[in-house]
Structure 1
Amino acid sequence: MTGRRRTAVLISGRGSNMQALVSAAKAPDYPAEIALVVSNRPDAAGLDYARDQGIAAVAVDHKAFSDRVSFEDALDTVLGEHGIDLVACAGFMRILSPAFVEKWLGRLLNIHPSLLPAYRGLNTHERVLGDCASAHGCTVHFMVAELDAGPIIAQSRVPVLEGDSADTLAARVLQAEHETYPQALASVASGEVFLN
């Protein structure tokens, strides 16, 4: 494990992208080690999965804090206690403050279900279908203070098929996410891709 970048994955739910990262990191030549999983929801199913895999899993319940600064201070403390180098947000449903993002700049990744810069924000599948777009996909990017606006690390394109619903399209995009995020994390952890 020497030389592997200690990575935390932030989740809010079942953590299917986290599971894809954990699976990829089992390869001995993968440049990142999933050392910690953190959720802002104590009942997140992904925490149990991480524990079952022998990974430290911690809940930092945002509802237990009076404000975002206090929550993020607690989150940062947990990351520090585990010697974390990189942070991968994977279905983490909290917007992080500019101060937190700045502290982790270049080491904080996010995955978004669209081909950014198109369709920032929520409800991307419905919006793509509403626009009758022919393609959709996912983007892994470095996080910056502006939501879904950071430099792109990797993207995967998914066709929009005739008769697609938001659910069927979301399922195909999620499959692409499970392939794209591990590749993107590896490229950052290895130093192949970095933020100047």
Structure 2
Amino acid sequence: MSERKRVAVLISGRGSNMASLVNAAAEQDYPAEIVCVISDQSDAAGLHFASSQGIPTLVVSRRDFDSKDAHDAAIDAHLKAFKADIVALAGYMRLLTPGFVSQWQGRMINIHPSLLPLFKGLNSHRRAIDAGVRVHGCTVHFVTADMDDGPIIAQAAVPVLSNDTEAALSARVLKQEHRLYPIALRLVAEGKVRMEHGRTVCSGFEDGGADSSISSPSPLPDLPDLERLARITP
């Protein structure tokens, strides 16, 4: 295996998606290693998990800087100090400045709890239920200056039940987030997915191989069977 890509993860809270990346990177054949976890919140629970796994952690609080540009410049300096190749946002709740995004364009990815371009921003699960959609999910995408608007790398879909609560739907989607993010990071780290001219370009897939694993966890059945599927899916 070629040299593993160095990945820095940015979090603001519990960091469950960060933990899924850390667990994936613990496998010897995984093409990336997590070299640091940075948070803008000193009380982010994910920092404790990262530390327990021997991963360096840093807190870079917005309160310590006069401007967003200065804050992002400090984060950028830490990323470069750790020689990061890829930045993975995992529940990082602060919008990044255009200058920072430009520095890392094509090398920064994010996971969002909806099937983009639907339901960008906050409260995506509640908005999906209110809209009456029958299919919801999560998306990993390259980060651009516009929020939740970068080229899509991978998506996973789940059914929405007629009696779903926001909490139940969120939990169903979160299981797929934890599955999808390591797959997407692997593809980026291996160079099989990249961003070119504002679009996602895929290469190096074998027929029926990795390319078939970056849509939904399994083919969705006809709509009448969606609720049955959700109840039998672990």
Matched, 1:147 2:147: yes
Tell me the equivalent position of 1:109: 109
Tell me the equivalent position of 1:97: 97
Q: Within 5 A, what are the aligned runs for 1:56-75?
A: 56-75=56-75
Tell me the equivalent position of 2:136: 136
Query: 3-state DSSP class of the match of 1:75?
Result: helix
Tell me the equivalent position of 1:119: 119
- How far apart are the structure 2 equivalents of 1:63 and 1:122? 23
Query: 3-state DSSP class of the match of 2:157?
Result: strand
Shift of residue 160 of structure 1?
0.3
- How far apart are the structure 1 equivalents of 2:44 and 2:120? 25
Query: 3-state DSSP class of the match of 2:195?
Result: coil
Tell me the equivalent position of 2:217: none
Matched, 1:13 2:6: no
Shift of residue 162 of structure 1?
2.2
- How far apart are the structure 1 equivalents of 2:88 and 2:49? 17
Shift of residue 161 of structure 1?
1.1
- How far apart are the structure 1 equivalents of 2:77 and 2:99? 14
- The CA RMSD measured in Å over matched residues stands at 1.0
Query: 3-state DSSP class of the match of 2:99?
Result: helix
Query: 3-state DSSP class of the match of 2:194?
Result: coil
Query: 3-state DSSP class of the match of 1:195?
Result: strand
Question: How many residues are treated as equivalent by the alignment?
Answer: 196
Superposition TM-score, scaled by structure 2 size: 0.82
Equivalent AA in structure 2 for residue 165 of structure 1: T
Superposition TM-score, scaled by structure 1 size: 0.98
Shift of residue 2 of structure 1?
6.2
- How far apart are the structure 1 equivalents of 2:2 and 2:131? 48
- Deviation sequence 1:73-111 (CA, Å, 0-9, x none): 110011011111100000000000111101100000000
Query: 3-state DSSP class of the match of 1:7?
Result: strand
Matched, 1:55 2:48: no
- Deviation sequence 1:143-185 (CA, Å, 0-9, x none): 0111111100000001001211111100111111000000000
Equivalent AA in structure 2 for residue 137 of structure 1: G
- Where do 5+ consecutive residues of structure 2 fail to align? 197-234
- Where do 5+ consecutive residues of structure 1 fail to align? none
Equivalent AA in structure 2 for residue 185 of structure 1: L
- How far apart are the structure 2 equivalents of 1:88 and 1:173? 19
Matched, 1:31 2:54: no
Q: Give runs of ≥4 in structure 1 deviating > 2 Å.
A: none
Equivalent AA in structure 1 for residue 140 of structure 2: V
Query: 3-state DSSP class of the match of 2:23?
Result: helix
Equivalent AA in structure 1 for residue 20 of structure 2: A
- How far apart are the structure 2 equivalents of 1:103 and 1:32? 20
Tell me the equivalent position of 2:195: 195
- How far apart are the structure 2 equivalents of 1:63 and 1:93? 15
- How far apart are the structure 1 equivalents of 2:70 and 2:153? 30
- How far apart are the structure 1 equivalents of 2:171 and 2:187? 25
